[in-house]
Chains A and B, each alone.
Chain A
Amino acid sequence: MSPPVIEARGVGISFGGVRALDDVSFAARAGEVFSIIGPNGAGKTTLFNIVSGLYRPDAGKVLLAGEDVTALPPHLLAARGLCRTFQNLQIFFRMTALENVMVGRHLHEERGLLPALFRLPSVLRQNRATRERARDLLAFVGLEKRADDPAGALPYGALKRLEIARALAAEPRVLLLDEPAAGCNAVETEEIDRLIVTIAERGAAVVLVEHDMKLVMRISTRILVLNHGRMLAEGTPAEVRANPEVVAAYLGRHAAEAAHAAG
């Protein structure tokens, strides 16, 4: 088995005396869809924020391709091949859809100030190449027809896919997706499902936080279950589903909630 691309070892963090995460570890490999699930407040997004460099953990380490990258700022993590999307969208609303994806190419662009100011031919070539690549990515997520629309005019489901296209523009080795299907209808969820599988097949490690259990069970290679900031279980979808603790703590409660809502 190939070594893990992204790894968390014994990660912990507290906010104002509350232990939000305690001794959490996971490792994901290239080509894998690794999902993190758990009830609300279990610490999924907190774990994402640590791995993507937004929070500094007070215990444990984050390793990217075997190197310690704990608390490295996000733009340096991006340069090493780690990219993410956000649960509550972080879109450049005043830019067009195409420009949003072009920003994602930033790391692969020549960024000298003087060539930019004097608009040297190299910058024009660069802009053209970036625009073309961004168009391809918009087509990949099915948004090629909206390329020149302001991002602010796009519907919610499209913005979710736009964020994925922007993250892919950086050609990440590790892609963290924070609830990519949240608020999407069944058709949109299916599209996102297909996207995630394709991204993993092309060789990236996809780490997924998602509430849609059907989606998680269908596409994950392995699943980590968090509860109250601790690891409850880890394994294949079948193993997790069969774990009585998980059923009790998470799936069971969800089932109860679903029954309650239906009743």
Chain B
Amino acid sequence: MRLAPRHATLLLVLAVFAALPFLLPSSFHLRVATLVWVQALAAVGLNLLMGLAGQVSLGHAGFFGIGAYAVALGPRHLGLDPLLSALAGLVLSGLLALVVGRPILRLRGHYLAVATLGLGILVWLVLNSEVGLTGGPDGIQVPRLVLFGWRVAGAETWYWITGLALLLGVWLALNLEDSPLGRALRALHDSEVAARVAGIDVARAKLVVFVIAAIYAALAGSLLALFNRFVTPQVADFLHSIELVTMVVIGGMGSTLGAIVGAAILTVLPQALTVFHDYEHAVLGLMIILFMIFLRQGIVPGLVALLPRRAVA
């Protein structure tokens, strides 16, 4: 029986997710895997915006930062439970995307990229400079997550929690792709004018996916902060936004599995490349360039195209 691509993606992610704890030798490796799940969650959301709808956001780490700081600031300043704070972060992120997205998404191409870049920098600036509120560049402690009396702790526990969140995110993203809205987003990516003539409210479709992508990023940010128990403005900086975009691009624009592979490469490689000491970033850059030259469509679509047709899942 031929496996539909969406089932293949889900099964693959599930299999890797279930197998890794038995293969990874130490809790350090589990922590790296957890980092991969978190980054992948943000990348899967960004892929809906970039890969599916073709709208570039260079400020996505801003939404990630909002989610991350929500779980730090909610308990400290408002006395909110961390879980409730995380929810508030998601809502805030979604609302910001909704309000800012309305005017921004009328822009196209480079203008949209620059506008989202500005949004990201704005969030970073606030987190970095409002020392009294956010702790400034030194960062801030995050209280431990307690779920119904259960103190959530341990590398393995966080591995499962973030992995399940990623699985949920992947499932929702794949569902969206195979729906009228998903088709509308792919359509407007190729021709906005034809999409409009087909009855698609292009402005609304873009706004909806922008909000969804922002919520994905905020959830990833909250999970990272709760897992690390500490957060600095770096989570919201420009470099992180670029990292997220790079994950989507090298993994393969429009491929959910690609976004995960991209996140894994950009998270694991820097750890593995520390043996190169000073040349670590140069080697990473070189590898990304090579990926882009030899697998231009991205790693996952590129490899799928290399498979014999019969075997394509």
Chain A interface (Cβ < 8 Å from any Cβ of B): 52, 54, 73-75, 78-79, 83-84, 86, 90-95, 99, 102-107, 109-111, 113, 115-119, 123, 126-127, 130, 166-167, 169-170
Contacts and interface: CB of A to CB of B under 8 A. Distances in A.
B181 interface: yes
Contact residues on B (Cβ < 8 Å of other chain), bracket:
20 to 34
A127 B179 CA distance: 7
Contact of B194 (A79, A86, A117): A86
A91 B71 CA distance: 45
Contacts, number: 101
B190 interface: yes
Given A73-B196, A86-B194, A111-B184, 19 more contacts: A74-B193, A75-B196, A79-B199, A90-B191, A92-B187, A94-B186, A95-B190, A99-B183, A99-B186, A103-B198, A103-B200, A105-B180, A106-B180, A106-B199, A107-B198, A113-B181, A116-B182, A126-B180, A166-B194
B50 to A, nearest CB: 14
A94 B190 contact: yes
Contact of B196 (A74, A99, A117): A74
Contacts of A102: 183
B175 A117 contact: yes
A104 B186 contact: no
A166 B175 CA distance: 23
Contacts of B179: 115-117, 119, 123, 127
A113 B175 CA distance: 10
Given A95-B186, A116-B181, A103 B196 contact: no
Contacts of B186: 92, 94-95, 99
Nearest to A77: B197
Interface string B188-229: 011101111111111000001000000000000000000000
B180 A117 contact: no
A111 B181 contact: yes
20 contacts: A52-B197, A74-B196, A75-B197, A75-B199, A75-B202, A78-B197, A78-B199, A79-B199, A83-B198, A92-B194, A94-B186, A104-B198, A113-B181, A116-B175, A117-B179, A118-B172, A119-B175, A119-B178, A127-B178, A170-B198
B176 interface: yes
Most A Cβ at <10 Å: residue of B181, B190, B199: B199
A204 to B, nearest CB: 15
Most A Cβ at <10 Å: residue of B175, B187, B202: B187
Contacts of A127: 178-179
A118 B175 contact: yes
Contacts of B184: 103, 106, 111
Given A95-B187, A106-B183, A127-B179, A117 B197 contact: no
B249 to A, nearest CB: 16
A86 to B, nearest CB: 7
Nearest to B172: A117
A110 B198 contact: no
Given A74-B197, A83-B197, A92 B180 contact: no
Contact of B176 (A91, A107, A117, A170): A117
